[in-house]
Structure 1
């Protein structure tokens, strides 16, 4: 008889893993699993003796919101959709030596994403939505994905101003365009793609808090060194509390191993608890607080929508 497990994440957030009992979406990435441990010898790994968390950990995240959808009418009769979006990035500085955390920087930006060749910036009250031209026809369904690149650039900018020697930078989500940043790891809390064959996935689901999987290498356009670890506070389901961590593929294997051990002794400190967070334990406490702060900085969505409506009415 099959076993059933209740995901501790609130249903409104989807699931901590996709596809039932673990990630099932096949990946097109070339995955190499033999670098740290031969594939046939995979086993749970603990941090090397002497591995300790850095004195300072920086956690960076970004949020985005659609404030309104628009459309243009060009001189030649063609029309292009547009998407007015607000986005913000911020970084939390956790001083583990002092046991203190503080917002080390944040920034808000707004833009109008469209493929229109003629549209200009939109001034909605005192808020300016700067035009961000996108390639192609600019289908509305694809415009929201266009926000990710400038948001990533904003995250890089804001985290760069807060860095100090010897710190560790934790990016919420895949590294994407941040692989060049030193001592930086990407933190992926929702598992969707199936990177490992079933036999090696069993090693991942056998992990207990304080253990990680061997490192494997992904060969996609956003390739990376990657590994899994389990956070404390998981429910007992096979993939509960499992997160995937990644670092730059440009690092040597020994450098990747150092970051893997560093993540193993650092990230569990920030694991959330179910009675406080509906996405526990994966939604790290500093990240959850940062998300709330950033969403507040985006401003009142209803007022912005009203201002955009008035602004476009004057231009029509």
Structure 2
């Protein structure tokens, strides 16, 4: 028996490694030879790397009785998305971009609510404007899911805005974009054709199978696996119509060697990009991004003595997380403002 440590902090929702088998089909598209691919360094043509992330927050739950005596759910929430722009060659300092909180009044579509403006007693504290957004049904998690969905949509829009266009046809000769966006988590449904790479920090799904996963523990720093292709939502041939049209390229990269006491996949990250429908080839641009990904992520990977989610929680991501938390303000003070608002509104009969 061998016991190894999962390096992910225990206060996170899940560990870094669970590896539930992917139920669908995964195809070879780059090569039939399953072996490590060395990094080729960062080309001069790549002028900018932008790291995009988002952060949601629930601030207060609401219960609303309608005129018929039925109970409905709502919530005050907030989310923020932002970016860090950096030069992959280290020629300038990193810069924060578009870090701004947006506040949401999420409500069941059965009970429409008006926008809520929370005015402080001290004018210097600022006004909190909550924009109403409806969700379907009466599920307990409905408000939280709505805030999360709005954040993901905003992340996608920001990534698409900042990334260079990317040629994905088989005959295209353009091989590398000038601006590459690294987006925390998988790439979102829709919106292919841009240089957006999703980086997945946890290994919760096994896309390789028992006969191939062993290569991950053999990868040296900066090396990657060959590129594979899969279809989002594939459950062995059963998937929703929306998911069934979406395909992804994916590969794995080693950022660093794990300490002896951690499991052998501790320094591994999975990357993914949009794939053309039913493609049997890898576009030159995607392969170029994969080839530089190892060298780039080695430079951006965090260190264990500074970040408990190292190395997968990238250095720019950690800085961005701090900026996003500040932009939403003190959760305690916001909660006090909401309580005062509800007390005043209830007394006026606005929210009942």
TM-score (norm 1): 0.89
In the other structure, the counterpart of 2:269 is: 243
Identify the residue that residue 298 of structure 1 maps to in structure 2: 328
Deviations 1:230-265 (A, max 9, x none): 102532422111110000112851332222112222
Q: Give the aligned partner of residue 232 of structure 1.
A: 256
Cα distance in structure 2, aligned partners of 1:253 and 1:311:
55
Is 2:186 the partner of 1:174?
yes
Deviates more, 1:196-205 or 1:290-299: 196-205
For residue 111 of structure 2, the aligned residue among 111, 117, 130 is: 117
Supply the distance in 1 between the matched residues of 2:25 and 2:270 (Cα, whole angstroms).
14
Note the C-alpha offset of 1:159: 4.2
Distance in 1 separating the partners of 2:44 and 2:14: 31
Say which SS state the counterpart of residue 256 (structure 1) adopts. Answer: helix
For 1:178 and 1:234, locate their aligned partners in 2 and report how far apart those are by CA, in whole Å: 35
Deviation of 1:52 (Å): 6.1
Distance in 1 between the 2:93 and 2:130 partners? 36
Report SS of the residue matched to 2:17.
coil
Residues 178 and 168 (structure 1), Cα distance of their counterparts in 2 relative to 1, 3 Å cut: farther
Larger radius of gyration: 2
SS of residue paired to 1:248: strand
How far did residue 49 of structure 1 move?
7.8
Tell me the residue number matched to 1:91.
Answer: 83
- Structure 1 residues 179 and 228: CA distance shift in structure 2, 3 A: farther
Query: Where do 5+ consecutive residues of structure 1 fail to align?
Result: none
Q: Does 1:17 find its partner at 2:16?
A: yes
Q: Per-residue CA shift, 1:32-52, capped at 9, x if unaligned?
A: 2322222xx311111358856
1:44–1:203 Cα contact (<8 Å) kept: yes
Residue deviations 1:27-71, cap 9 Å, x none?
33x232322222xx3111113588568221100000011101111
Aligned twin of 1:82: 74
SS state of the match for residue 84, structure 1? strand
How many angstroms apart in 2 are the aligned matches of 1:104 and 1:233?
32
Worse overlay, 150-159 or 193-202:
150-159
Q: Confirm or deny that 1:153 pairs with 2:156.
A: no
Name the SS for the 1:268 alignment partner: helix
- Please point out which of 234, 255, 264 is paired with 2:294: 264
**Residue deviations 1:81-135 (CA, integer Å, cap 9, x gap):** 1121110011100023414211122221010112143322222332121111011
CA RMSD of aligned residues (A): 2.3
**Distance (Å, rounded) in 1 between the aligned partners of 2:41 and 2:113:** 60
Long gaps (5+) in structure 2: 120-126, 165-176, 233-242, 347-351
- Number of residue pairs matched by the alignment: 307
* Corresponding residue number in structure 1 for 2:51: 59
Q: State the distance in 1 between where 2:13 and 2:134 align.
A: 32
CA distance in 2: counterparts of 1:70 and 1:274, whole angstroms: 40
Q: 1:178 to 1:281 in 2, by over 3 A?
A: farther
